[in-house]
Amino acid sequence: MGEPIARETGWGSHWVYGALSLGLMTSALLAPLSSRLVSRHGGRVQLAGSGMIVAAGLAIMAASQTLPVFILAWVVIGVGMAAGLYEALFATLGALYAERASRAITGITLISGFATTLTWPAVAWLIEHVGWRYTCTGYAVLLVLATPLYLKVLPQVRRLEVRAATTPVDSNGLDRRLYLRLIWIFALGAIIMTAVSVQLVAVLQGLGHSLASAIALAALLGPSQVSSRILQMLAGKRHPIWTALISVVLIAVGLFLVACAPGATAVGLVLFGLGNGLRAIVRGLLPLALMPPAQYVAMMGKMSRLSLIGQAITPLACGYLQQHFGAMGVLSALCVLALISLVLVLSVLPFVRHSASV
């Protein structure tokens, strides 16, 4: 959507994408507060309200005629993202279902994989036929219509029950070394995912692929992500650390194939998609397996802050690397980050071996 907005309004692309980064930064700053609210109130009303907030941001964006109003729209959307995206949702499920939340988290990530595969082509089609403003309006209406589903599907929990289930806990109750490893594992995964989402087509073109070929190769990611989540559901119950290890290995191997084996680019992207699909599941399940539910609810927002800040900065960093070092510069940086992520996951294994659930 960025290029159509820049074309119609005349605003520089750096402002358009900078507004997105500001929205992500807003979400990062508010994420810990979001988790605290879930801990106190259960998250049911918060999740329902998040859709309304994002809808308001999209409506402001659709009506924006000046850059400050457009930027304001992204700030509002950032507030809604903090209130209702994965971390808030996972924390809500943890508050409601404790250890039983893992099955719901896996199912939701599976459905969200289909959503991405379907909505991106839909957005492209809508922008082409009705323009970006009506596209924003249409999605705002969908969010408003979906709001009652939260209230219908999520059970209403009395405040006393929520407080009993989610006694306030901070990171002091969690081994500091484990906590730091987890937040960096999630942050590196988010940075790599964001970089690939933003730069993949440009990187593939930089490696010599035509635009049509690059788009076709990029389209392999969606089905691969969904496939890995289906396999995760069929694999049965095992400790999420093994899912995390498989995920980072697939991501690292996939990126190295894209960077070093031009003839295996398609295979590399399929492997990357499989690994990235598992990453979304790991974000929800690994912390739940390594800490009590009460701590899980309280910590999800704190643990997501670095990831969101990384996502906000990544488009700017990738743009710099692409401009000064080309496609191989971007891929080399991503390969290094993938290797660091692999080492971090391996370093978590000693903590898991002390758990009776392994």
At 169-213, the pLDDT tens digits run 444 456 788 888 999 999 999 999 989 988 888 889 888 888 788
Instruction: Read off the pLDDT of each residue in 42-52 and give the average, rounded to a whole number.
Output: 87
Q: pLDDT tier at 278 (50, 70, 90 boundaries)?
A: confident
pLDDT at 4 over 60: yes
E strands, 260-349, where? none
| Any domain includes 358 | no
Number of domains in the chain: 1
Q: Which residue has the tokens 């035509």?
A: 210
Range of the domain at 114: 2-351
Q: In whole angstroms, give the CA distance from residue 5 to residue 9.
A: 6
Per-residue confidence (pLDDT) for residue 354, from 0 to 100: 62
Q: Does some domain include residue 309?
A: yes
Q: What percent of the chain has pLDDT over 90?
A: 30
Please check whether residue 258 lies inside any domain of the structure.
Answer: yes
Answer yes or no: are the C-beta atoms of 316 and 15 closer than 8 Å: no
Looking at the domain assignment, is residue 356 inside a domain? no
State the DSSP code for 262.
G
Q: Which amino acid is at 75?
A: V
Q: Is the entire prediction scored with pTM above 0.85? A: no
Structure tokens at 86: 């994965």
**Residue 295 confidence (pLDDT):** 73
Dist CA 200 CA 269 (whole Å): 10
50 with 83: CB under 8 angstroms? yes
Residue 33 lies in a domain: yes
Residue 166: which CATH number? 1.20.1250.20
As a whole number of angstroms, the distance between CA 118 and CA 55 comes to 19
What's the one-letter identity of residue 283? R
